[in-house]
A and B are shown apart, each in its own frame.
Chain A
């Protein structure tokens, strides 16, 4: 790993550290938004859901802050090598975390509708598990970023497969449920979208793992992406 600190110009270090700091802050916020959104769904907590919806603006603001700071560093410092890769990675990671925040808000919005609907569904347990894995993935990838640790980034990325598999099985289950009784369709559709949001969050964490790899090594990872999301091919006949 190349040196990360001690530029001759100290304020340059401060600016790069500030970018790292905001990424850390955004990541923690995104993970906590996700956790709260899932809790709001599981515990049928409308107040918590509303808090998540209004909390998304803070993540958006941090993304703006990263972009402004990164553009400033690019213009004023003309970073090279690892410094350049750090700034570019931060801009991309900021974008992914912002999207994760959007998905959490979407889950929170849907949780309010699901709570208002009659009936219960076991699928919520699967969603809770998916949310737990994605939450751990976000924390893991933030650590990989902070420590500039490629192995850790790859380990995080591999966990995305289990998120995809849970999404596939939930998709099948909900399809059957809807076929059995059309009155289940509204609830099932919302749960499907929530699962899809979690699956997309996993993909964004995977992207962040790849950005960490490029940031640390300067090369694109040769990892083969696990392609376990089969929900686009599932039909009612096979479910």
Chain B
């Protein structure tokens, strides 16, 4: 390795070819079952169709990227998953969505509980005009997740730690969150989302308002978070989708055109529309 400024780290302990191949099998064997199954989803805004017959499986403990040109329906699909579209009067959603086998549209489903289980991080960091501590403590407080102040402290510190923000804010927990940088605010929003222990985190363009360094931190965080959560990211950046996701779904004109392993989608897509989009041939 002499002469290399940044030698490749040796991450394997295997010393023989057979040990290496067995290591590889273990790395490849993840929990592959679906956390969310969406079947035949059709969404209309008034008369206008926004999603047409979309069926997709969202794998557990993986990052799934939704890509496609503006207006293709990817954000609409994301909002179906925690019934955010219920808030839009003209929006009509048809089809079935199962979260861990439970129909999220069943009459007995409490939307607040659903949104606890399926958290969301938005395009622009949107901290509450409160202290850093209170931002993260907000969800656990309203859901009654902590019986004591020390328990709440633990949730807040853990969430900030997992969001990779704790070291940067440890000494100013009671300062206003509005004083944080954009990247820190977005990680605070992620900490706020994970404080209520969701199973799924939806992220709608989480890095689009961040600079490259802050984006890299969030991307690194997303990769770590998938050990514990299943993550769905809507992104305009194909490079970002390629870097952070294991599965990619391409939407175009309200249709799910192609989905599959990220590596395959970006190296050898099957549909000509996917190919045209990812290679920069259509806007």
Contact = CB atoms under 8 A, between A and B. Distances in A.
Interface stretch (A76-84, A118-126, A153-161, A182-190): A76-84
B281 interface: yes
Contacts of A81: 266-269, 274-275, 278-279
Given A2-B272, A2-B275, A80 B266 contact: yes
A84 B275 contact: no
Nearest to A84: B267
A81 B238 CA distance: 12
A79 B267 CA distance: 9
Interface in A66-82: 78-82
A3 B267 contact: no
Interface size class of A (residues with CB under 8 A): 10 to 19
A172 interface: no
A78 B266 CA distance: 11
B3 interface: no
A218 B239 CA distance: 19
A79 B279 CA distance: 7
A7 B267 contact: no
B9 interface: no
A2 B269 CA distance: 9
Contact of B275 (A9, A78, A82, A219): A82
Interface size class of B (residues with CB under 8 A): 10 to 19
Contact of A80 (B272, B278, B282, B283): B278
A217 interface: yes
Most buried by A among B266, B269, B275, B280: B280
B276 interface: yes
Nearest to A77: B280
Contacts of B279: 3, 7, 79-83
Interface in A96-128: none
Most buried by A among B238, B272, B276, B279: B279
Contacts of B274: 81
B280 A7 contact: yes
Q: Is the interface of A mostly helix, strand, loop or mixed?
A: loop
B208 to A, nearest CB: 17
A85 B269 CA distance: 12
B280 A8 contact: yes
A7 B283 CA distance: 10
Contacts of A3: 272, 275-276, 279, 281
Contacts of A84: 266-267
Contacts of B276: 3
Contacts of B266: 80-81, 84
Contacts of B272: 2-3
B267 A85 contact: yes
Interface in B24-80: none
A81 B269 CA distance: 7
A221 to B, nearest CB: 14
A234 to B, nearest CB: 31
Contacts of A12: 280
B270 to A, nearest CB: 9
A219 B268 CA distance: 8
A12 B279 CA distance: 10
Given A3-B276, A217-B268, A218-B268, A8 B239 contact: no
B264 to A, nearest CB: 8
Given A80-B238, A82-B275, A7 B281 contact: yes
A107 B242 CA distance: 46
B283 A8 contact: yes
A238 interface: no
Contacts of A222: none
A213 B278 CA distance: 21
Most buried by B among A2, A6, A83, A217: A2
Interface in A1-36: 2-3, 6-9, 12
A195 B242 CA distance: 46
Contacts of B268: 81, 85, 217-219
In order of increasing CB-CB distance, the 9 nearest A-B pairs are: A218-B268, A80-B278, A2-B275, A83-B279, A80-B266, A7-B280, A81-B279, A81-B275, A80-B279
7 contacts: A12-B280, A80-B238, A80-B242, A80-B266, A80-B278, A81-B278, A84-B266
Given A3-B272, A3-B276, A81-B275, 19 more contacts: A2-B272, A2-B275, A7-B281, A8-B280, A8-B282, A8-B283, A12-B280, A78-B239, A80-B242, A80-B267, A80-B278, A80-B280, A81-B267, A81-B274, A81-B278, A81-B279, A82-B275, A84-B267, A217-B268
